[in-house]
Amino acid sequence: MFLVSIPFLTRAAEKPNIVFFLTDDQDQLLGGSFPNIGDVTPMPLTKAELEGKGAMATNFFIHTPICCPSRSETVTGRYLHNVKIFNNIPGRKPQCPEGYNGKDDQGHVCCMHVDEQLVNNFTFARSLKEDAGYTVGMFGKYLNNCPDKPPPGFDVWFANGGGNYFSPSFAVKNIDGLPDGHWTGNKTDYTTSVVGNRSIAWIRKVAGKDKPFFAYIAPKAAHEPFTPATWYKNHWDPSWPKTSPRPPSFNCTAKQRAHHHPTIAAMDMLTDKAVQCIDDVYKNRWRTLMSVDDVIKAVIDVTEELGVLNNTYFFYSSDHGFQLGELNLPFDKRNVYEFDVRIHLLARGPGIKHGSKFEMLASNVDLGPTFLSLAGLPVREDMDGKSFLPLLISDKSQLPDSVQLSLSHMDSAENVAANWRDSLFIEYYYVGINNKCGLTHPIEEPDNNFIAVRHLDEKYGNILYAEFQNGTDGWVDFQKPNFYEMFDIDKDPWQLQNIYPTVDEKVKTALHQEVQTWLQCKGKNCP
């Protein structure tokens, strides 16, 4: 833990540059990211540059498996319950009740139940800029309901809410060669390339100058509608799988799903046409990732060319996972299961051992705190996540001053690991009706509000425990859940056997209390 106060580093002290790559909807469990499943990957360049020359997380999760909440949590270091407002005052609408974008009756800008005023003023970017002297550039998808003007902390803004693959539009501020306002590309402009090129042009401008830089690079890939670049649209390497994965939960029977919560239990069998749709989606997702692979490699190469590679950290993750027919859910996300919440994290930079593994239970909420540590800043009191910096750094011989300073105020890696959390919290509120692949059964119903914990410890083993409740407006009462699920992930990696009914009452009570405690946590009292 940090001491009460840390003297700020002098301006001359060395702080590393940080590049954060964040993809959209990129699964880990179905082979789309890292660790790879089998020997194949659509991202061989990234595998060599970030996995081979960095650390790879093996138990990294998302707190909320859908875009805007996840991104809000990442950029603030806060759990979902701290970037939304519960309002159960009789006669008043809940705040941010709209499933997708909108304004609530208090005038707050919302997306997927997040109140954006609890996000935009509290980003890690703001701390990096105002407290550590960074220059910060945002390129690509910020929040789905993206502000036209950069929130405090972002010097450079080339941002959108996801937008289109071709003819993409971005809100613009302080981009060389473009007037402030909005820019829309033409029909040959491919969004991943545009985001990459704008990022690289900016890095060329700011690298090695008087300030360290933070580049937030967030391409649309591999999000729906999965449109590859023109030059990759027919590519399929002969070594790549012929179809999407077919785990035991793919197109499983109603009997196999009978003990899942009602949305899952009621899913239809996948038709041949739906299976074909899923296979096509799978292939096009990989093709969109080929362009991300090119961007990651090009960004790393330019830092090398500019002589700043050895003073730059690279992080690469996704905003959540994905499903492709598991539990008969056609493509998308929004579920509590491993395929939607388990994601990749790769990290490379000074002191991170090449080819190392990072095994602790951590989530996107821990990224902001870790970025602050790299800059020599303490974790902010309003952040719910923890810095995992000591767990990443294994060679302290040539660290930037700011990283040395942070580590000198933190526990040793051994102690941090020994005292690390033993469960991870997952939280989600129903967003809206959505049908995929021509199936008429929606991929979520109003029973899909959940709070859950992932355990990985001696006491409980490797489990997922989830409580569900009905609701449509982002406000539900989890005190008396209306459904429970629990899975033994070691024995049942695809979550087909709901063991909750067989669990000892004392264990049920303890786990219920645990998720309720997590749901109330804020700042330093979050585990």
Q: Which is nearer to Ca ion, 317 or 328 (CB)?
A: 317
340 binds Ca ion (CB under 5 A): no
Q: Which is nearer to Ca ion, 338 or 514 (CB)?
A: 338
Place of tokens 């029909």: 187
Q: Which stretch binds Ca ion (CB under 5 A): 209-217, 254-262, 319-327, 433-441?
A: 319-327
Q: Does 319 bind Ca ion (CB under 5 A)?
A: yes
Stretch that binds Ca ion, among 60-68, 195-203, 253-261, 280-288 (CB under 5 A): 60-68
CB of 223 to Ca ion, least distance (A): 6
The first and second tokens of residue 339, run together, are 């395929």
Does 104 bind Ca ion (CB under 5 A)? Our answer is no
- Smallest distance, Å, CB 319 to Ca ion? 4
Six token digits for residue 179: 């007037």
What is the smallest separation between the CB atom of 492 and Ca ion, expressed in angstroms? Answer: 26
Figure out which of the listed residues 62, 67, 443, 526 binds Ca ion, where binding follows CB under 5 A.
67
Please tell me what DSSP assigns to residue 472. S
CA dihedral 139, 116, 225, 326 (to 10 degrees): 120
Which residues in the 77-96 window bind Ca ion by CB under 5 A? none
Among 25, 115, 467, 514, binds Ca ion (CB under 5 A): 25
Q: CB 93: neighbour CB atoms within 10 A?
A: 13
Where b means 16+ CB within 10 Å and e means fewer, 12-49 reads eeebbbbbbbbbbbbbbbbbbbbebbeeebbbebbbeb
If the CB atoms of residues 24 and 467 are measured against Ca ion, the closer one turns out to be 24
Site string for Ca ion, 462-491 (x = CB under 5 A): ------------------------------
In contact, 396 and 351? CB cutoff 8 Å: yes
Shortest Cβ contact with Ca ion: which residue? Answer: 67
Beta carbons of 469 and 478 less than 8 angstroms apart: yes
Among 66-74, 140-148, 300-308, 356-364, the segment contacting Ca ion (CB under 5 A)? 66-74
CA dist list (Å): 231 to 41, 234, 238, 282, 286 = 18, 8, 17, 18, 13
| Closer to Ca ion by Cβ: residue 24 or 384 | 24
Q: In angstroms, what is the minimal distance from the CB of 336 to Ca ion?
A: 16
> Which residue in 63, 76, 3 sits closest to 363, CA to CA?
63
Residue 329 Cβ vs Ca ion, minimum distance, rounded to whole Å: 15
Q: Using the minimum distance from each CB to Ca ion, give the nearer residue, 162 or 481.
A: 162
CA diameter of the chain: 65
Give me the half-sphere count of Cα atoms (radius 13 Å) on the Cβ side of residue 121: 6
Choice from 22, 23, 24, 377 touching Ca ion (CB under 5 A) = 24
Which residue lies nearer to Ca ion by CB, 56 or 67?
A: 67
Stretch that binds Ca ion, among 2-10, 27-35, 65-73, 355-363 (CB under 5 A): 65-73
Distances from the Cα of 503 to the Cαs of 260, 319, 462, 463, 484, in angstroms?
A: 15, 32, 14, 12, 11
Please count the residues of this chain forming the interface with Ca ion, following the rule CB under 5 A: 4
Q: Kindly indicate which of the ranges 25-33, 89-97, 337-345, 356-364 contains the residues binding Ca ion, using the contact rule CB under 5 A.
A: 25-33
Q: Are 71 and 333 in contact (CB under 8 A)?
A: no
Helix ranges restricted to H, 56-190: 67-76, 117-120, 124-132
Kindly list the residues in this chain that would bind Ca ion in the complex (CB under 5 A).
Answer: 24-25, 67, 319
